[in-house]
A and B are shown apart, each in its own frame.
Chain A
Amino acid sequence: ELKVEQNPLFLSMQEGKNYTIYCNYSTTSDRLYWYRQDPGKSLESLFVLLSNGAVKQEGRLMASLDTKARLSTLHITAAVHDLSATYFCAVDEGYGGATNKLIFGTGTLLAVQP
């Protein structure tokens, strides 16, 4: 059974600092997603990572995937208050093709302090 662990659960950062959120998963998969959720809102897609070594960047966020280590990271560079939200990683249960059955991590609540 696929399990997804995310850490830390809560991250309080100062503006301008860098930090990394980690996402480990337990069984083979080649599709990993990162989402952002603001309070009371739905999930916003940030990144889709489809292969080993995939790296994607958007603004101050960069995501990477190591399928051999079953690890993805979401790196935040020079944090700003607008990045405050809950970040989820999600892994597709399939391998070699999408099942659209996503197993989500517990989420990381990011609070960026001025």
Chain B
Amino acid sequence: KAGVTQTPRYLIKTRGQQVTLSCSPISGHRSVSWYQQTPGQGLQFLFEYFSETQRNKGNFPGRFSGRQFSNSRSEMNVSTLELGDSALYLCASSLAPTVSYNEQFFGPGTRLTVL
């Protein structure tokens, strides 16, 4: 069974640009969550989507947005990039929040560098 896939794996952008990251969950999984990992702030929750609806959002500015498609694939977008947005962006998928044993599986991440 294929795992969570994220594209691209590496990105280099300059300040002020925007970027779109993609996540394909494990087949049959309908919930997708996004996390940012930096050396200074650690792992922080960005948002979670289930059935194309954003259910939860973390404490990030509005420049960070996302969406989920009917096939459960998700994208996140960061506009007007800042140097501090350089991070590893991780996507996690799970079956559904209503499932008792709702384990999240993480993708390999997208390493974003903002110059």
Contact = CB atoms under 8 A, between A and B. Distances in A.
A97 B42 contact: no
Given A42-B90, A107-B42, A100 B55 contact: yes
A101 B58 contact: yes
B98 A103 contact: no
Contact of A98 (B43, B45, B102, B106): B102
Interface of B: 31, 33, 35, 42-45, 48, 50, 55-56, 58, 90, 92, 94, 97-109
A106 B104 CA distance: 18
Interface of A: 31, 33, 35, 41-45, 48, 50, 88, 90, 93-94, 97-104, 106-107
Nearest to B32: A100
Given A42-B90, A50-B101, A99 B55 contact: yes
B103 to A, nearest CB: 5
B43 A100 contact: no
B48 A101 contact: yes
Contacts of A44: 106
B42 A106 contact: yes
Contacts of B105: 45
A50 B44 CA distance: 22
A31 B104 CA distance: 12
B106 A42 contact: yes
Contacts of B100: 50
A5 to B, nearest CB: 12
Contact of B33 (A48, A50, A101): A101
Given A45-B104, A90-B43, A102-B35, 10 more contacts: A31-B102, A33-B103, A42-B107, A43-B90, A45-B103, A100-B31, A100-B50, A101-B33, A101-B48, A107-B43
